[in-house]
A and B are shown apart, each in its own frame.
Chain A
């Protein structure tokens, strides 16, 4: 049986401590992948995988990722909401792993909203 190796986790802890000390722990972007039954059935997990992989590859630590439930727009799933600090949230529709990669590189990293995939701007009122 594979054990949780305390050594590995300690290393991660030290690495994370070193990097948070450098940038005072601010989160700049919050990305929400909608994970209702509808989202999952239309590929939200692939979108999530792609997003996590991009964050890992880019080595950024100011992007947080979370999930939410269905908000009633099942036909437009997978949906992703990108919220950059002090800006209106942007909702993207019909996402897939390639579109997610593009949104990550262009919007999250460079601030350029990817209009062809946008469903709406503004805050979500219902979960």
Chain B
């Protein structure tokens, strides 16, 4: 996986499998400290200590259909090779919080990629889950909440193609407006 957006898509899938009702995605670009922080938080089932300890083991997975679980290890590696850190916290019943940092201008940092497309894919695949996408760049901030959108569109499903198109354009424009460097 060569783009951070694809990692987000992959990791958020874990949250949905953990029965989360809400998944928050937060990106913070801090050019002053040359830091890019990605946080993904959910209110899913959470993990106990043993599971948490093994989450970064590529040969550990909770799935039965294959013997490897590469999602988290690959993201951890992406952070490591860009001078960053990987912090995963979780408790059963209290959801999971993931915080990954990268050197914002590090040569080996993966580009953000198509964050708008990823959010659209997440929303299309999980219409019942509420997503928030928050992206900061210095003093500028962009925020999107599917809950707010759902209130406005009432009985129109959020995964309707027109709504998805609107969300894609909204996020793409928002990221541009805050002058993202990622």
Contacts and interface: CB of A to CB of B under 8 A. Distances in A.
Contacts of A26: none
A84 interface: no
A3 B103 CA distance: 29
B160 A16 contact: yes
A71 interface: yes
Contacts of A64: 159
A52 to B, nearest CB: 6
Interface stretch (B24-32, B34-42, B85-93, B170-178): B170-178
Chain A interface mostly helix, strand, loop or mixed? helix
A117 B113 CA distance: 28
A72 B148 CA distance: 36
A45 interface: yes
Nearest to A15: B162
B153 A13 contact: yes
B82 interface: no
Interface string B58-70: 0000011110011
Interface in A35-73: 35-38, 40-41, 45, 48-49, 52, 55-56, 61, 64-72
B124 A61 contact: no
Interface residues of B, number: 46
B100 to A, nearest CB: 16
A118 interface: no
Contact of A9 (B10, B66, B69, B152): B152
B182 interface: no
Interface string B110-148: 000010011011001110000000000000111110001
B166 A8 contact: yes
Interface string B1-13: 1000010011001
Given A8-B166, A16-B156, A52-B120, 9 more contacts: A1-B140, A6-B152, A13-B154, A17-B156, A35-B13, A41-B1, A64-B159, A66-B159, A74-B66
